[in-house]
Amino acid sequence: MTIRSLLLAGVAVSMLSTPALGQQTDAVAATDPQHDLAAASGDVGEPPSSAGTGARDEDAIVVTATRRSQQAQDVPIAVSVVGGEHIDSTGSFNVGRLQQLTPTLQFYSSNPRNTAVNIRGIGVPFGLTNDGIEQGVGIYIDDVYNSRVASATFDFLDVAQIEVLRGPQGTLYGKNTTAGAINITTRQPTFEFEGRAEVSIGNRGFRQAKAAVSGPLSDTVAARLAISSTGRDGTIYNVTSQRPINEQDNLGLRGQILWQPSSSVDVTLAGDYSEQDPECCGTVFVRTGATQRPLARQFATLAAAQNYAPVSTDPFDRLTDLDASLNAGNKLGGVSLRANWDVGPGTITSVTAWRFWDWKPENDRDFTGLPVTTESNNPSQQDQWTQEFRFAGTVGDLDFVLGAFGFKQKVRTQGLQEQGPAASRWLLSGALANDPTVLDGLRAENDIRLDNVSAALFGRASWHVTDSLTITPGVRLNYDKKDGLYDSVVTNGAGQLVTFASNDPRIVAQRGVLAPQRFEVAYRDWNVGYDLSVAYELNPDVLAYATYAKTFKSGGVNLNGVPADAQGNPILAAGTVDPEAVRHYEAGLKSQFWDRRITANLAAFRTDIGNYQALVTNGQLGVLRGYLASAEAVRTQGAEIDLSLRPSERFNLYVNGAYTDAKYRKFIDAPCPPELSGGTVAGPGQTLSQPGTPGGISPANCDISGQRLPGVSKWSFSFGGEANLPATVLGLPGQAYLGYDGSFRSDFSSNPTPSAYTWVDGYSLHNFRLGFRSEEGFNLFGWVRNAFGERYFEQLQVPSGNTGLIVGNLGDPRTYGLTIQTQF
């Protein structure tokens, strides 16, 4: 029997063996899923309230965004809060689905390693994965920083609450985060026995099971264990393998032991393990667009020369013919020890953690059914160690947080790319293109290493000048040390080393496809950042605030190769990347009225970034190869609104909206879009050809100053609500309810340099649920996601080579199913 079979069986047994509903605890019976629904409305602190009675402060949403427990409406930070119950009821079981509830969050993933999580349009360069750079959005789970963004692709496990913080957070959090942070809090061990279980089934073979149990082991020790498993058939059919691909296959385990020897000390030991093993991640043919390559080197001609045609030219047929093996197997986990000691004026917190990530992919990187690239895999292993100390307390009119943070990371990646028998005809021109043996078996084996050490001191103090006015300065001192190695060894099908010492035409052609390179690179830097916030309470239910932050995103090292000179020597000046210089401005208003039945929060922001880390093609180095470096200036600005309405305990409504204007202010050496690429590079005085002119004159690089950043919709919204009526089913008193959650986002560019071929049209998604929940914790509901069958792309991609091929990652089709939950 497999682990997943045991899990499903265990959940079923736990659901069947729950105590009689009348024996459940009052604490569970008091749980209100609609409290969590209100939480989904963004910066909400609106508690559930009874008609005519107003809201109760003790029911307000509590967050730890400022490293102390505060009501969300009292925190002068733009923060969206989503409760665990709402996560479960809406099927938002990972960050990708969470973005439908939080419009300022952007998530893109072509596979777990090539994943980007951005807030307000910034965080990490779109479509670029490089082990040597930092994330701009920090992901924290129970105070533990997760450095690999692949953690965003795993299922949430026994989550109590998620806070999405917008804007720089470096003076509050251990790892510096310039765009924001996702702060995930899991349910903790309890000294009263409790449990929960959930099983879902749906179309496309969807099956999901979750369970958690918690209780005392002694008067001072409690434990909690949670398990989760998700499976679903693929949403694209591969006619080559005759199997559906892009499936879901997730397993997660989490255990915690709490030791509480006194009321002033608690220590929690936690361990977790998650794995994914889906046949993933494939794309579909979308279209072709004319480039400036000669006609003989564009997709239609190249495909016809090998009697090839895509299996379908309609991407929403959901058919592909990828011929290389596909897999997105990865494992993630770790152990943490978190201790809190109340010393009177404050609390000392220590968080010690080790985490690992093991990535074993298989990809088809020619994106066709031809054996052009037969292997393109970059298995990677990461270990990270973190230690954080914090002291949070109050002295007179001053609340403060002081912290120290240490981070050590080791990444080892073994890259592999091998060309197949169709590669010569696809990638070469002239006589050699007709000889399959030139590139067949050409193989690059890459040894990529990163050793990363970071240390920081940080702090923030809130001075309550009056009962209404609070001034909060913060500061951060940061040190970064990165050492990298990139070593690519290339051999051909005859087993010969491909080097720059040979002038053999075959070798020259081979290294034009896969070039050997070896270099070591080191980066060291100190940085200081600071912020200042002013908050004024206009009345007990209205808070105005303004923030200025001058901060940074750490510099990095290039670990995807760098440009080389004519002799093949790496140009080490391109080996390091400058830190981003960030200036952030924000003003906001948090308000509640109508006896706190309505919550309305507004925020306006502007972030200016100098030395924005991006892919550039800089002719100053004497070559025109793209590499990671600094664009001169980027700006993102906009406004956000979060509204929630709860006129009675029978109805609630929320609307969140964001306008985001994110642009390159100055970027003169950007890679050109496909319609301006592939031709003869323009010399002095030559006139450039029109976009898409075959055999044209192309610019060496493109000035895209003033154009939009990729992946950012100007307009995005989430909205929804729930209505319920008293009902009794099988003798169980409770509520019958109807819930709805929708989202909309306008069009966005899906290429680092905007291209006419890669704009993703705007789309809207609509999800419904209908069910019954008892007062004692039983919940049964049917659900449908993407109810109206919206056909949309999550991402479009431009494969290398400038053939004009455009491929896409499809959004999920309509799905539906049934969920049963119980708490005891």
Taking the C-alpha atoms of residue 538 and residue 308, their distance in angstroms, rounded to an integer, is 69
pLDDT at residue 485 is higher than 90: yes
Residue 314, pLDDT score: 97
Taking the C-alpha atoms of residue 107 and residue 151, their distance in angstroms, rounded to an integer, is 12
Helices assigned H by DSSP within 412-571:
423-427, 505-513
Structure tokens at 168: 């720089």
Residue 127, pLDDT score: 65
Is 597 in a helix, a strand, or coil?
coil
Average pLDDT over residues 63-91: 82
Q: Give the pLDDT band of residue 135 (cuts 50, 70, 90).
A: confident
Taking the C-alpha atoms of residue 251 and residue 248, their distance in angstroms, rounded to an integer, is 10
- DSSP state letters, 537-572: EEETTEEEEEEEEEEEE--EE--S---B-TTS-B-G
**Residue 698, amino acid:** S
pLDDT at residue 197 is higher than 50: yes
Residue 48, pLDDT score: 29
Residue 400, pLDDT score: 94
Taking the C-alpha atoms of residue 493 and residue 498, their distance in angstroms, rounded to an integer, is 10
Structure tokens at 78: 């733009």
Let me know: does 824 contact 777? Beta carbons within 8 Å. Answer: yes
Residue 678, pLDDT score: 87
Tell me the sheet residues that pair with 447.
414, 487
Residue 13, pLDDT score: 35
Residue 730's region, left for phi above 0, alpha for psi from -120 to 50, else beta, is left
Q: Which of 530, 531, 533 is nearest to 471 (CA)?
A: 533
Give the model confidence (pLDDT) of 533-581 as tens digits.
Answer: 999 999 999 999 999 999 999 999 998 888 888 888 998 888 998 999 9
Handedness of CA 140, 146, 152, 157 (dihedral sign): negative
Residue 565, pLDDT score: 85
pLDDT at residue 289 is higher than 50: yes
Give the model confidence (pLDDT) of 317-343 as tens digits.
Answer: 999 999 999 999 999 999 999 999 999
Taking the C-alpha atoms of residue 150 and residue 649, their distance in angstroms, rounded to an integer, is 39
Residue 472, pLDDT score: 96
Taking the C-alpha atoms of residue 205 and residue 201, their distance in angstroms, rounded to an integer, is 7
Residue 155, pLDDT score: 86
Structure tokens at 432: 């050699």
Q: What angle do CA 460, 121, 102 make, to 5 degrees?
A: 80
Let me know: does 705 contact 666? Beta carbons within 8 Å. Answer: yes
pLDDT at residue 647 is higher than 70: yes
Q: Which of 66-75, 194-203, 721-730, 741-750 has the lowest mean pLDDT?
A: 66-75
- Other beta carbons less than 10 A from residue 329's beta carbon: 18
Let me know: does 720 contact 40? Beta carbons within 8 Å. Answer: yes
Let me know: does 204 contact 144? Beta carbons within 8 Å. Answer: no
Give the model confidence (pLDDT) of 238-255 as tens digits.
Answer: 999 999 999 999 999 999
Residue 22, pLDDT score: 31
Taking the C-alpha atoms of residue 481 and residue 405, their distance in angstroms, rounded to an integer, is 14
Taking the C-alpha atoms of residue 62 and residue 287, their distance in angstroms, rounded to an integer, is 49
Q: Which residue has the tokens 């309505």?
A: 598
* Chain center to CA of 816: 25
Give pTM, 2 decimals: 0.90
Give the model confidence (pLDDT) of 262-280 as tens digits.
Answer: 999 999 999 999 999 999 9
Residue 130, pLDDT score: 80
- DSSP state letters, 347-414: EEEEEEEEEEEEEEEE--TT-SSSSSEEEEE--EEEEEEEEEEEEEEEETTEEEEEEEEEEEEEEEEE
User: Measured between alpha carbons, how far is residue 477 from residues 342, 349, 458, 530 in Å?
Assistant: 26, 20, 6, 9
Let me know: does 601 contact 564? Beta carbons within 8 Å. Answer: no
Taking the C-alpha atoms of residue 617 and residue 672, their distance in angstroms, rounded to an integer, is 9
Taking the C-alpha atoms of residue 355 and residue 496, their distance in angstroms, rounded to an integer, is 40
> What is the Rg, in whole angstroms, of the alpha carbon atoms belonging to the chain?
27
Give the model confidence (pLDDT) of 502-513 as tens digits.
Answer: 999 999 999 989
Let me know: does 114 contact 130? Beta carbons within 8 Å. Answer: no
Tell me the sheet residues that pair with 630.
613
Q: Give the pLDDT band of residue 128 (cuts 50, 70, 90).
A: low
What whole-number percentage of the chain has pLDDT above 90?
71
Give the model confidence (pLDDT) of 690-746 as tens digits.
Answer: 998 998 898 888 999 999 999 999 999 999 999 999 999 989 999 999 999 999 999
Q: Which residue has the tokens 């046949």?
A: 279
Q: Which of 110-114, 341-345, 363-367, 731-735 has the lowest mean pLDDT?
A: 110-114
Average pLDDT over residues 624-639: 82
pLDDT at residue 93 is higher than 90: no
pLDDT at residue 51 is higher than 80: no
Average pLDDT over residues 773-790: 96
Average pLDDT over residues 669-674: 89
Q: Give the pLDDT band of residue 58 (cuts 50, 70, 90).
A: very low
H/E segment holding residue 153: none
Is 167 in a helix, a strand, or coil?
coil
CB-based contacts of 236, cutoff 8 Å, min separation 6:
244, 245, 246, 282, 284, 318, 319, 320, 810
H/E segment holding residue 588: strand 580-593
Taking the C-alpha atoms of residue 687 and residue 558, their distance in angstroms, rounded to an integer, is 34
Task: Please state, rounded to an integer, the average pLDDT across all residues of the chain.
Answer: 88
Q: What angle do CA 487, 493, 494 make, to 5 degrees?
A: 105
Q: Give a three-class secondary structure readout of 32-57.
A: CHHHHHHHCCCCCCCCCCECCCECCH
Q: Give the HSE-up count for residue 178: Cα atoms under 13 Å, Cβ half-sphere.
A: 29
Q: Give the pLDDT band of residue 344 (cuts 50, 70, 90).
A: confident
